[in-house]
Amino acid sequence: MPKDQGIGASSKRREDVRFLTGTGNYTDDINLVNQTYAHFLRSDVAHGVINGIDASAAEAMDGVVRVFTAKDFEGVGGVPCGWQVTDRHGQPMQEPKHPVLAEGKVRHVGDPIAVVIAETPELARDAAEAIDVDITELPAVVDMKAAVAEGAPKVHDDLTSNLCYDWGFVEENREAVDQAIKNAAHVTTLELVNNRLVANPMEPRVAVGDYNRANDEHTLYTTSQNPHVIRLLMGAFVLGIPEHKLRVVAPDVGGGFGTKIFHYAEEAFVTFAAKAINRPVKWTASRSEAFISDAHGRDHVTKIELALDADHKFVALRTDTYANMGAYLSTFAPSVPTWLHGTLMAGNYITPLVYVNVKAVFTNTVPVDAYRGAGRPEATFQLERVVDKAARELGMDPAELRRLNFIKPEQFPYDTPVAVTYDTGNYHATLDKALELTDYASFDTRAAESKARGKLRGFGIAHYIEACGIAPSNLVGQLGARAGLYESATVRVNATGSIAVMTGSHSHGQGHETTFAQVVADMIGIDESQVDIVHGDTARTPMGMGTYGSRSIAVGGSAMVRAAEKVLNKAKKIAAHLMEAADADIELKDGQFSVAGTDKSVAWGDVCLAAYVPHNYPLEEIEPGLEETAFYDPANFTYPSGAYFCEVEVDPGTGKVEVVGFTAADDFGNVINPMIVEGQVHGGVAQGIGQAMLENCVYDDNGQLLSGSYMDYAMPRASDLPMFEVDHSCQTPCTHNPLGVKGCGEAGAIGSPPALVNAVIDALHRGGYPVEHIDMPLSPSRVWNAMQSVK
Amino acid sequence: MYNFDFEQPGSVDEAVAALQGEDALALSGGQTLIPSMKQRLNAPSKLVSLTAIEALKGVCPDSGQIAIGAATTHATVAAEATGYPALAALAGGIGDPAVRNRGTIGGSLANNDPAACYPAAVLASGATVVTNTREIAADDYFDGMFTTALEEGEIITDVRFPIPEKASYQKFEQPASRFALTGVFVAKYADGVRVAVTGASEDGVMRWAEAEAALSADFSAAAIDGLSVSADGLIGDLHGTPEYRANLIKVLTKRAVDAAS
């Protein structure tokens, strides 16, 4: 029988009631008395010198409160970068200034030049059109390899070149890898592109700045995945506001997918301007604006080489990647192609030697940063594509080649050659589970049936690993992170036994309000309805690092468990006092404290009441009250893994791909709420199929965004997707966090693109089109063109 | 969106009069015009809505033809043009339900988007576009991307389609917009076959004469096998090269012939 409460139960998502009935409280729902509206005038050229800005006509318009330009931000800090990567020669990366408003130069289409504040959004927009900006356009650099070529126009004049860093990992292995590849029995080489994506959360970004002159307090309401991080970055590095005078609230947030992690100029602007005009300032992005101002994702160009011995065992792996940073360094951008990417290049396999080279490049495009998976999809995609290609070249079943090279269950904990130690895993189990669920044995029958309808059927496998639960602070500090990556929670028990948990994690669709409550209720044995989860407000929650990298249950959940354990330790002392027993004899079950071996018991609620009405209470030993805070810093990453199988049909006449089957067998360790986990996998797979088949962010040579609206940027729709077969019964619990959990938010987006591409390549080969590779998205025209190239 | 004046006359004559002013534009379902105004790409001083003119609405079957009022929505055509199933199916495949319940046939034809569906049906059917002043044969109506034979202030009142013996529209959707990346409408009449292609040509909707000749002689997909389509003058964009569109024209024409009923 499935449980109906607590850990392991598919409790219904309590937050959905307000989301589905239109009673959510999103940032755009917040309207303050005397509020004004900001409109950002953005560059329509990718690269240019600003000769002058004449805002006099705009300033004279009725309803215009004030126009801001870079001049108003003299003495104000730039938007900071949160991670400093050291290059392979031991030098720090090149780090340009990122001004709140463009200073002297614009560097991408969408770069903000000026801001109008007016009484209505329409007036602000009208006035922005009246601003005269004199720009001399400069040649733009868009292509990464061209950007680092001799004589390329420089995005930042004060840097030596457009190369942010040249990173090598593991640098000491470089020559050994070269040698191993040279001497290998077989080398499979693949060049590929990991396509640039726009995150497109349903809710565009919004920021509302407020200032209280009476007590010199600033409040920023913003669409963020991590309000404390925004407070830290904006307060300390941009505006110089101490934390006790700055509150950041991220209320209901309609999806983030990474792009709402980062601190953006618009947040600093509204906070700054609210004080300058002494009125609240609101900015709501249009969808068009989101395309040219939200950080983009992916955008890697890679060459990967896999060397195998005569027995088909992997002996070495070498990858060379160009990673697009865009025009400025977004908050976590430098970490994505390096530490979130290079450390995963071993995948699920025993590969003794790995060398990863990454050149990060500035271009005249929107900044690129973490997007669902962040570095791990890029690693998984190239590895799972090259393994598949190797299997084809060697005439092996792709599942068998993987199985042959998998780390074996008995080899955990396993030290990879790329600095990380996988604590647990069982890749054979997930592969077998996916094979079982997919009915692989009858594929040929299905292929024959497809052929009778004129379609080519193919089958694709990918097996991913990811590192979640970022991360041990001391480790990431060594790697260049400028912040700790712990998480926090306060468990506040009320006098009658109900509980509020204040977590540093942030929910923007993941369902934490349900899942986290299940954990605490389970630990005490009370009804889930007695536990509320509070998040998203620096004034209400302890300092926390927020939600990204599938870290919330593994790190935030662990902090909550630690705080709840402290609460229970104290509650047991109180119970012992009430029952005149020894602390050690107190047991807790189903919300009742009892004395072992007796029939004495006292209810949870009575203990809580005693804590707040301490008439009969050991005041000489413990304080009244029942509230505890814990900060949890993980000992290691967690390592979810899984087998993703994709079945496709290709229409040879048009090149159109239809995904006809998709199976995901994941190992997430222990699972708190199976329904929510399945939902996370569904969403991730939908995004991964979106990347593999539909989505593409394309600039022309002049840096103009060609796919700047939904007329050209193809988002996945329900009708583009099959029914998913999702399983998480293979569980190797994490050994170093109290819940044994690994995280599930990004898995779907990581494992699905290579599975889909492998399936299409398989279909083409079976159909007599020996195509080796097609770059994503596998749009009909790209597939058809590839087929013509081998005809 | 900039400010504009708005009128909603009850008759065609009143609408024609209202359109005389500077920068006035006729508004039908607004599925193209309103988004372009919201993006500030279009800024008429006045909109004259045609949707309150009852005379412009409705599907009217007649002997051998079907007349559709210009302000009839795609959803209505899909539901009521039962006498011309290929046309009804085309209307039912435009956009999404919201578009189909606002957008109109007259609006689509007046706009003449090079990737719209209706122009293919009108051209392949040899339909007649009727306006407040005259009747325009389909072959004379379309005049390149977003350009038609309509004069300033001229309003389409209805479109008359001769009903073919067999017809089919095959749309291959552009993955993002779901407009026709290429669409082919094949209509077989007693006096010959007409083939119209949308979404492919830089000159907008066009007929494919070689296919028409081949299919008029032999109405079978095999009749197309020997033909090839030149990529010259075809659209190349993010979603397909001219060569890809040339292939689609041929593939979709064959599928239309196979599907024609």
Run means of pLDDT, 10 residues per run, chain A, 791 residues: 84 96 97 98 98 98 98 95 97 98 98 98 97 98 98 97 97 96 98 98 98 98 98 96 98 97 98 98 97 98 98 98 98 97 97 97 98 97 98 97 98 96 97 94 96 98 96 92 94 98 96 98 96 98 95 97 98 97 96 96 98 96 97 97 98 98 98 98 98 98 97 96 97 97 97 98 98 98 98 86
- CB–CB of A780 and B181 under 8 A? yes
A339: number of Cβ within 10 Å: 26
Determine whether B189 is exposed, middle or buried from the number of CB atoms within 10 Å of its CB (0-12, 13-18, 19+): middle
pLDDT of residue A1: 46
For B166-259, which CATH superfamily applies? CO dehydrogenase flavoprotein, C-terminal domain (3.30.390.50)
Q: Helix or strand or coil: residue A16?
A: helix
Q: What separation in angstroms does the CA of A706 have from each of A205, A259, A680?
A: 21, 20, 31
- CB–CB of A712 and B247 under 8 A? no
pLDDT tens digits, A151-191: 999 999 999 999 999 999 999 999 999 999 999 999 999 99
Mutate which of B228, B251, B252, B258 to test chain A, going by most A C-beta atoms within 10 A? Answer: B251
Contacts of A656 in chain B (CB under 8 A): 172
Mean pLDDT of chain A: 97
Closest Cβ–Cβ partner in B177, B181, B248 for A711: B177
Q: Which CATH number is correct for A420-466+637-791, 3.30.365.10, 3.40.50.300, 3.40.50.1820, 2.130.10.10?
A: 3.30.365.10
pLDDT tens digits, B161-212: 999 999 999 999 999 999 999 999 999 999 999 999 999 999 999 999 999 9
At residue A548, what are phi and psi to the nearest 5 degrees? Answer: -175, 165
Contacts of B255 in chain A (CB under 8 A): 653
Does B177 contact A at CB distance below 8 Å?
yes
For A31-138+205-284, which CATH superfamily applies? Aldehyde oxidase/xanthine dehydrogenase, a/b hammerhead (3.90.1170.50)
Does B41 contact A at CB distance below 8 Å?
no
Comma-separated ranges of CATH 3.30.365.10 domains in chain A: 141-196+296-408, 420-466+637-791, 486-632
Comma-separated ranges of CATH 3.90.1170.50 domains in chain A: 31-138+205-284
What is the chain A residue with the closest CA to B172? A654
Mutate which of A779, A783, A785 to test chain B, going by most B C-beta atoms within 10 A? Answer: A779
For chain B, give the number of residues: 261
Contacts of B172 in chain A (CB under 8 A): 654, 656, 780
Determine whether B3 is exposed, middle or buried from the number of CB atoms within 10 Å of its CB (0-12, 13-18, 19+): exposed
pLDDT tens digits, B205-244: 999 999 999 999 999 999 999 999 999 999 999 999 999 9
Q: What separation in angstroms does the CA of A621 have from each of A79, A139, A495, A574, B145?
A: 49, 73, 20, 10, 85
Architecture in CATH of B56-162: 2-Layer Sandwich (3.30)
Q: Can B56-162 and B166-259 be said to share one CATH topology?
A: no
Closest Cβ–Cβ partner in A707, A710, A781 for B240: A781
What is the chain A residue with the closest CA to B249? A654
The dihedral sign for the CA sequence A715, A324, A646, A740: negative
Locate tokens 């292609």: which residue? B197
* Axis crossing angle, helix A674-689 with helix A747-766, rounded to the nearest 10: 50
Strands (DSSP E) found in A542-652: 586-589, 592-595, 601-603, 627-632, 641-650
Please tell me whether the interface predicted TM-score (ipTM) of this complex is above 0.90.
yes
Architecture in CATH of B5-49: 2-Layer Sandwich (3.30)
pLDDT-derived band at B63 (thresholds 50, 70, 90) equals: confident
d(CA A319, CA A71): 45
Residue type, B26: A
- CB–CB of B240 and A706 under 8 A? no
pLDDT of residue A2: 59
Q: Are A514 and A15 in contact (CB under 8 A)?
A: yes
Domain ranges of chain B: 5-49, 56-162, 166-259
- Cβ contacts below 8 Å, chain A against chain B, sum to 49
Q: What separation in angstroms does the CA of B26 have from each of A152, B14, B34, B70, B131?
A: 50, 12, 11, 12, 13
Q: Are A365 and A699 in contact (CB under 8 A)?
A: yes
d(CA A259, CA A257): 6
User: Quick one: fold of A141-196+296-408?
Assistant: Aldehyde Oxidoreductase; domain 4 (3.30.365)
pLDDT-derived band at B261 (thresholds 50, 70, 90) equals: confident
DSSP sequence for A418-440: TS-EE----HHHHHHHHHHHHTG
The dihedral sign for the CA sequence B211, B213, B218, B219: positive
- CB–CB of B175 and A781 under 8 A? no
Please tell me what DSSP assigns to residue A636: S
- CB–CB of B247 and A707 under 8 A? no
pLDDT of residue A201: 97
Closest Cβ–Cβ partner in B1, B176, B255 for A714: B176
Q: What separation in angstroms does the CA of A188 have from each of A309, A318, A348, B186, B189?
A: 11, 11, 18, 48, 58
HSE value, Cβ hemisphere, 13 Å, CA-based, for A708: 17
Closest Cβ–Cβ partner in B176, B240, B248 for A713: B176
User: Quick one: fold of A486-632?
Assistant: Aldehyde Oxidoreductase; domain 4 (3.30.365)
pLDDT tens digits, A456-477: 999 999 999 999 999 899 999 9
Please tell me what DSSP assigns to residue A624: S
- CB–CB of B239 and A781 under 8 A? yes
Closest Cβ–Cβ partner in B177, B238, B240 for A698: B238
pLDDT of residue B21: 81
Across the beta sheet with B180-189, what order do the strands follow?
B166-173, B180-189, B192-198, B206-207
Q: What is the mean pLDDT of residues B116-135?
A: 98
Q: Which residues pair with A577 in a beta bridge?
A: none
Cβ-based neighbours of A768, under 8 Å, separated by 6 or more: none
